[in-house]
């Protein structure tokens, strides 16, 4: 059995997302989410190593925007978040805490930030 390398709590959720890179917009669905990234399935292939803009679309109409890097390719992809605005980070934190097995552990993970939230919101 291999040792778990992830340092962030992950939650299993499913909702739509859009990944924009190299002038393309690829639709897909989130499958699991953490404060540092996500795993997803996409309608088209995404390419590893490419920086991208990710928009998460919740049923409530709320949209969260992140800048990330594609770390797993194909139609079964993964994105590592590089940065996001403060509002998106606050929503992400609340979402992960809500569905996490241990919300206190999620708070503890914030003692070692994975990146710095940006002051300016992402453009719509």
Is residue 84 within a helix (H) or strand (E), and if so which, with residue range? Answer: strand 74-84
Query: From its phi and psi, is residue 56 left (phi > 0), alpha (psi between -120 and 50) or beta?
Result: beta
Instruction: Give mean pLDDT in consecutive 10-residue pieces for the chain, a chain of 124 residues.
Output: 56 95 95 95 92 95 96 89 94 93 83 61 51
Fold of 11-108: Thrombin, subunit H (2.40.10)
Predicted pLDDT at 99: 93
Query: From its phi and psi, is residue 60 left (phi > 0), alpha (psi between -120 and 50) or beta?
Result: alpha
Cα distances (Å, whole numbers) of residue 83 to 51, 60, 77, 115: 11, 23, 19, 6
Predicted pLDDT at 107: 80
Predicted pLDDT at 78: 96
Q: Which residues pair with 69 in a beta bridge?
A: 51, 80
Helix and strand element counts for the chain (H, E)? 2, 6
- The residue ranges of every structural domain in the chain are 11-108
> What's the number of CA atoms in the CB half-sphere (13 Å) around residue 39?
9
Predicted pLDDT at 19: 97
Predicted pLDDT at 106: 83
Predicted pLDDT at 31: 95
Under DSSP, the state recorded for 101 is: S
Predicted pLDDT at 5: 47
């Amino acid at each position: 059995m291999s040792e778990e390398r992830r340092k962030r709590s992950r939650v299993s959720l499913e909702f739509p997302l859009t990944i924009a890179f190299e002038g393309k917009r690829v639709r897909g669905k989130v499958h699991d989410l953490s404060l540092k990234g996500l795993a997803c399935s996409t309608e088209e292939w995404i390419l590893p190593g490419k920086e991208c803009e990710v928009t998460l679309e919740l049923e409530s109409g709320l949209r969260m925007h992140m800048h990330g890097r594609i770390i797993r390719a194909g139609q079964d992809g993964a994105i590592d978040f590089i940065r996001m605005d403060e509002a998106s980070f606050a929503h992400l934190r609340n979402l992960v805490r809500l569905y996490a097995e241990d919300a206190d552990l999620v708070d503890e993970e914030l003692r070692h930030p994975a990146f710095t939230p940006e002051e300016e919101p992402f453009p719509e």
